[in-house]
Amino acid sequence: MARTLINLPKTARAGDVITIKTLISHPMETGFRPGADGRILPRNIVTEFVCRFEGEEIFRAELFPASAANPYLTFTWVATASGRFTFTWRGDDGFDQTESAPIAVA
């Protein structure tokens, strides 16, 4: 499992715009670089990130080989109700990881 750091407020008021920040540990190997033995290292990147709130998609990003290692994605959301976010990263070699975090909206 890749290490992730997810940051969002624990609570918000309805109508607040909150910022969600995510960071995942991933080499984002481009598929264009030679390794120590001179052979091209196989591409190994995260290709897709999706954030859902209570199952409904609220943010999606596609990633490509030029992205830096350990992709950092930040986006905003208008607080509507209490519930749970899920964060899913998918990529090469069957990479598939989901994390979640709650928010309480008053």
Partner 1 sequence: MPRRPGLPPPAAVLALLLVGAPAGAEPIAPADRRSGFDQMGPEIQAMQRDETANPGMLAVADGAELWATPPAPGRQPCAGCHGEAAVGMRGVAARYPAWDARTGRPIDLQDRVNACRRTHQGADPLAYESPDLLALTAFVAAQSRGMPIAPPDDPRLGAARAEGRALFEARQGQLGLSCAICHDDHWGRRLGAAVIPQGQPTGYPLYRLEWQGMGSLQRRLRNCLTGMRAEPFAYGAPDYVALELYLATRAAPLPLETPAVRP
Residues lying near partner 1 in the complex (CB under 8 A) are found at 3, 5-7, 21, 23, 25, 27-28, 68-70, 72, 74
Closest approach of Cβ 86 to partner 1, in Å? 18
Task: Look up tokens 């715009």; give the residue.
Answer: 17
Residue number, 15 or 85, with CB nearest to partner 1: 85
Closest approach of Cβ 47 to partner 1, in Å? 18
CB 3 within 8 A of CB 96: no
Residue number, 23 or 105, with CB nearest to partner 1: 23
Residue number, 7 or 100, with CB nearest to partner 1: 7
- Residue 3 is encoded by which pair of tokens? 């290490």
Closest approach of Cβ 30 to partner 1, in Å? 10
In Å, how far are 13, 72, 88, 91 from 80, measured between CA atoms?
8, 25, 21, 31
Closest approach of Cβ 61 to partner 1, in Å? 16
